[in-house]
Structure 1
Amino acid sequence: MAKRLKFYAVTHDILGDVFWEVFRRGLIDAADRYDVDVEHLRPGKFSPEIQAGLIEGATHARPDGLISTVPDIGAVDGPLRRAVAAGIPLICINAKDPRPAGERIPYLFYIGGDDGHAGEFAGRYVLEKVRPRAALCVDHYLHEHICHNDRWQGFRRACEAAGVPVERLRIPGGDPAACASAVRERLEAAPVIDAVLTLGPPGAEAVLAGSEGLSGGRQVPHLTFDVAQLQIDGIRSGRILATIDSQQYLQGYLSVEAMWLHKARGFTLASDIHTGPAIVDASNLAAAEDGVRRGYR
């Protein structure tokens, strides 16, 4: 009887972010489909240092394959290189090493959103729909995070190319009350801001709460990232223009499928797979909501 394959997935989740529960559903569905074991390790809060320790533990277990995010190169570079040196195939998902191929962590390929392109796409969408005087990007990580930074930089490039000033506000994603307070304070202090981009559900929640009842009945157009019921309800109510989906279910599912194809059949993809950006707005809201209901979005 052939040995049952065992993969480890190590991600950088923060508590309360529904994004990662959908990703996990993809892992589990693919594990069932391909009859493999998948162990999902996550620190529970944003800590690349804790994630690095989890990667070390996964490497020590000698799995048949390793799937990992790269939210902070300095923290996870060494542990991931040691895993590859130990002969463990590595696939990068969701947040990648942006360095050139000869310098980056030697993973097989990346599966996830093209975040720089997604940020620029967000900027162009806002410019077309709103034509803002000034824009704000709300980042629910206090620490540097590769994919959030790429989204912000892409958004900044698009806005500045159109002559629209833009700034970044960092908020503590694990503290909803503090997040909402910080957003309200910034919007009240800068009435010229008439477009906001958030980078995921915790940021979207903060803007929805923090912009409630602004002075003079002011409404600030809001574009966000990821798909959850919060975003669906916000689009339906008109408080969110649209959300940009990186289709994280695919990131989980395809990473397990690709690792199985690599180990069981000897295949390796020749290039990265980009699962986003994909736009969700009023035009395709029903399909997105059905995906949320089923646990795929």
Structure 2
Amino acid sequence: MTTPPPPHTSFRRIRRTVPTAAVAVCLLLAGCSGTGGSQAGSDAGAAGAAGTGRLKIAMVTHASQGDDFWVLVKKGAEAAAAKDDVELTYTSDPDATGQAELVRDAIRDGVDGIALTLAKPDAMKAPIAQAKASDIPVVGLNSGIDSWQSDGILEFFGQDESVAGRAVGEKLDALKAKHALCVIHERGNVALEARCAGVKKSFTGESDMLYVDGTDMDAVSAAVTDRLKQDPTIDEVVMMGADFALTAVKAVKAAGSKAKVATFDLNQKLVKAVKSGDVQFAVDQQPYLQGYLAVDSLWLYKTNGNISGGGVAPVLTGPAFVTRTNVGAVAKFAANGTR
């Protein structure tokens, strides 16, 4: 019996080689001895059946390469897969068309379940419908909380980004901020747009929005620096991710600005920045938990028919504020690479 491929093996390299090998062994042994061959063939067949009984789950996200946030999502997914003895494949493409094609790859590969993100919900409708037609359950995670039901998804795990955005706006009021710059690093991403819209809705001060190219950190830094130089009244920069927040800290210094930096999302490096006061606070949506729950929910559905949230409500993983006063409680988990 061959060893199953590791979780990151691509779809096209995953093959059910166990039954073929079992048949070959059976035929060889049967040719040598009728009785012995029959027993050996039976054992090999049982081993093959055990191998094919393992669930195959695909996770397909809109992650960009090298983004620490998605490392945490993937790590959570892999932990659940190990617990449930699931064969997991993780793939991603920030381009909506590319992500949709990866979902179709998973369908063609005959997976037992698919977990995906809905950063661009319209692009996912057709592949989700195709999965349902193939009797493959689909759950959502991270982005698309306003679209998962209309897109026909079974369950959703993530943060209500509108609620999180409004909470940030209220937090800025409490911190006496007057002029916030909300920076979006991926135009058209519904989750990021909802965050900034939420900030604008609840924040009583002035609120501006800036679009940057999130695939180029130098460009992000330059754009934020230029904007701060152009408008010295900006006293708060709100970023959409941990790595972007750390870039914004540098941009503030380069601009000679007195603006503070706050952000959505968290990682180990940002924990240090919150501790030092370089970043005022972070909104933690627990990406590790999102990845874990998405995979585990598919296993539960396939093995026991369970549906988290009853199929009518999302399972919320955030928002939670991480500030200088409570960051110590999170630090040990961030050091383990799970927050």
TM range (shorter): over 0.9
Q: How does 1:54-203 map to 2 (within 5 A)?
A: 54-96=102-144, 98-99=146-147, 101=149, 104-129=150-175, 131-141=176-186, 143-159=187-203, 162=204, 164-203=205-244
Q: Which residue does the alignment assign to 1:53?
A: 101
User: Once the two structures are superposed, what CA deviation does each residue of 1:249-289 show, in whole Å capped at 9, x if it has no partner?
Assistant: 11011111111110011111213100000111112212222
DSSP 3-state at the match of 2:325? helix
* Paired amino acid for 2:286: Q
Flag the structure with more relative contact order, 1 or 2, with Cα contacts below 8 A and sequence separation at least 6: 1
- Equivalent-residue separation in structure 2 for 1:293 and 1:65 (angstroms): 31
Q: Which residue does the alignment assign to 2:317?
A: 275
Higher Rg: 2
| Equivalent position to 1:229, from 268, 271, 283 | 268
- Equivalent-residue separation in structure 1 for 2:216 and 2:254 (angstroms): 21
Q: Which residue does the alignment assign to 1:251?
A: 290
* Paired amino acid for 2:327: L
DSSP 3-state at the match of 2:228? helix
Quick one: structure 1 residues 134 and 281, their matched pair in 2 at CA, closer, same or farther if it must change by over 3 Å? same
**Does residue 27 of structure 1 match 2:77?**
yes
* Paired amino acid for 2:338: Y
Comparing 271-280 with 196-205, greater Cα deviation is found at 196-205
- Equivalent-residue separation in structure 2 for 1:55 and 1:111 (angstroms): 18
Identical residues among aligned pairs (%): 30
Q: How does 1:1-16 map to 2 (within 5 A)?
A: 3-16=53-66
How far residue 158 of structure 1 moved from its aligned partner, in angstroms, is 0.9
- Equivalent-residue separation in structure 2 for 1:112 and 1:16 (angstroms): 21
| Preserved contact between residue 140 and residue 202 of structure 1 (Cα < 8 Å) | no
| Preserved contact between residue 16 and residue 174 of structure 1 (Cα < 8 Å) | no
- Equivalent-residue separation in structure 1 for 2:303 and 2:267 (angstroms): 34
**Does residue 296 of structure 1 match 2:338?**
yes
| Preserved contact between residue 139 and residue 203 of structure 1 (Cα < 8 Å) | no
* Paired amino acid for 1:10: V
How far residue 37 of structure 1 moved from its aligned partner, in angstroms, is 0.8
Quick one: structure 1 residues 74 and 207, their matched pair in 2 at CA, closer, same or farther if it must change by over 3 Å? same
| Aligned pairs, number | 286
Instruction: Give the TM-score normalised by structure 2.
Output: 0.81
- Equivalent-residue separation in structure 1 for 2:255 and 2:141 (angstroms): 39
* Paired amino acid for 1:166: S
How far residue 100 of structure 1 moved from its aligned partner, in angstroms, is 8.3
| Preserved contact between residue 117 and residue 141 of structure 2 (Cα < 8 Å) | yes
| Preserved contact between residue 145 and residue 314 of structure 2 (Cα < 8 Å) | no
Unmatched tracts of structure 1, length 5 or more: none
How far residue 99 of structure 1 moved from its aligned partner, in angstroms, is 4.1
- Equivalent-residue separation in structure 2 for 1:186 and 1:273 (angstroms): 37
User: Once the two structures are superposed, what CA deviation does each residue of 1:186-205 show, in whole Å capped at 9, x if it has no partner?
Assistant: 00101111111111024213
* Paired amino acid for 1:169: L
Unmatched tracts of structure 2, length 5 or more: 1-48
How far residue 95 of structure 1 moved from its aligned partner, in angstroms, is 0.7
* Paired amino acid for 2:292: Y
CA-atom RMSD in angstroms: 1.4
**Does residue 264 of structure 1 match 2:303?**
yes
User: Once the two structures are superposed, what CA deviation does each residue of 1:40-76 show, in whole Å capped at 9, x if it has no partner?
Assistant: 0112xx2111101101111111211110001112222
* Paired amino acid for 1:128: A
